Structure 1
Amino acid sequence: MTPNKEDYLKCIYEISTRTPKITNKEIAEKMQVSPPAVTEMAKRMIDEKLIQKDKQAGYLLTPLGHQTIARLYRKHRLIEVFLLEHLGYTTNQLHEEAEVLEHTVSDYFIEQLDTFLGYPQTCPHGGTIPQKDQLLTEQYQQTLEEVTQSGKYQLMRIHDSFPLLQYLEQVDLAINDTFTVQQIDTFTQSILIECKNQKIAIPFAIAKELYIEAQ
């Protein structure tokens, strides 16, 4: 499978975790390509039984698609752990490097890497690392956006994107930090939290990228 096709498949998976319907427009915006390009690639992926077209949901991953996604995320996240723990990368540097390497290393390399690392369960951004031949099931699925009342929470996982990592660094919020939700403001579309003795107004658009656990 080509790196481009793998990126399309990951894009479809990521959109599916946030919205009930996946359209050509959404894929085109995320992949930064034209809608006709998406249509052409979707046809190929349907022919290869990686996805299927559904009237209600748009595009759906097939069982083969889910298996492929798990393999890709396993590679990506194990590589991130290695880069962070053994090569001195920062969390902000991990994603882009892993994006390149995941398309080039072999399955054998990944199995050896898993053994070398001691079979880690999660990546540096809190995402679950699927075991060999197992499907991807994220351990933490509740987002900060879904919180409906004040209380104490812990940041367990974040969506793996460079702009988000930059934002979190700016506001000094990191994986495993505990914080208190003080106010949910629908008018300003933000959630006011207190963490490390500072107040942070987190926009809903970012809150949906942060996965939390009640404390």
Structure 2
Amino acid sequence: MRLRNKPWANDKLEQYPQYVITSPELLKGKWKDVFETEQPLHIEIGTGRGRFITEMAKAHPNINYLGIELQPSVIVTALDRLIEAELPNIKLLRVNAADVTEFFAKGEVERVYLNFSDPWPKKRHEKRRLTYKTFLKQYEDILIDQGEIHFKTDNQGLFEYSLTSFSDYGLLLKWVSLDLHNSDFEGNIMTEYEEKFSKKGNRIYRAEVKYR
């Protein structure tokens, strides 16, 4: 899908420092001081237009959320959602999450969400997949002991690859669905992509995994 450029996006993002964190590397080890209330921190890597993370923050006010997205023309829509919702338990980071250990210390994060990540289907691009072993190591380095990854995709190949990657890394598969929307899972909050793909009849895959 082609991204529509919004040349004004960066200026708007800079106008709302209460929502969009700048220089997050300076907050490593200090994220509990960023939010009004000290409570568990969940992060979404590739938050896109912010529907999922915003609705999660509404549904779970006892959890703090950070949405991470690099593209200013995308994350500015997430910012609009935050401005409208006026939620105290959610912030945004416009950074490249290729190395999250730059921004978080060990034990600062309780859960990582990976929703509809780029599948990078070519074998030579395997190392770019967010469920590749080097990324799993990074998540381990910032998560609490027995922290979790919650993963959703409509791409069967990526899902099968990810289950193998999780297992090879030694993660515990807590919950797996090969057809989320026809499962008994309660409280599912859809992303924009999820709604789009499911309307086309695509099956949605979901997994919850935990570090041992």
**TM-score, length-scaled by structure 2:** 0.27
Structure number with higher helix proportion: 1
**TM-score, length-scaled by structure 1:** 0.27
